[in-house]
Amino acid sequence: MIGKTDARSAYDELLERAAQVFGSRQVAEEWMHSPVKALCNQTPACAIIHDRAQVEAVLKKIEAGDFS
């Protein structure tokens, strides 16, 4: 688990990455706060607290065209 400052930094970095993947900051923000099946129905914003690498892996899969 990460602290508040680290969590905020991780959130900001992943939000920027998601904006690159989705092509829109607004879509990225919506994704960060929506349950994702690949994250056991957690929101990415919540999941990064426990496993940032898993959220990054999901973004890589989406970028590669795997939407499962």
Q: Where are the domains of the chain?
A: 4-63
Please state the rounded mean pLDDT for residues 3-10.
Answer: 74
Q: Which structure tokens are listed for 47? A: 């999941």
pLDDT digits (tens, 9 = 90+) for 21-49: 999 999 999 999 999 999 999 999 999 98
- Check residues 34 and 5 and name the one with the higher pLDDT: 34
24 touches 31 (CB < 8 A): no
Q: Distance between CA atoms of 33 and 65, rounded to whole angstroms?
A: 21
32 touches 45 (CB < 8 A): yes
pLDDT of residue 66: 83
Residue indicated by tokens 């919506």: 30
Residue 26, C-beta contacts closer than 8 angstroms, at least 6 positions apart: none
Please state the rounded mean pLDDT for residues 3-17.
Answer: 84
In the chain, % of residues over pLDDT 90: 78
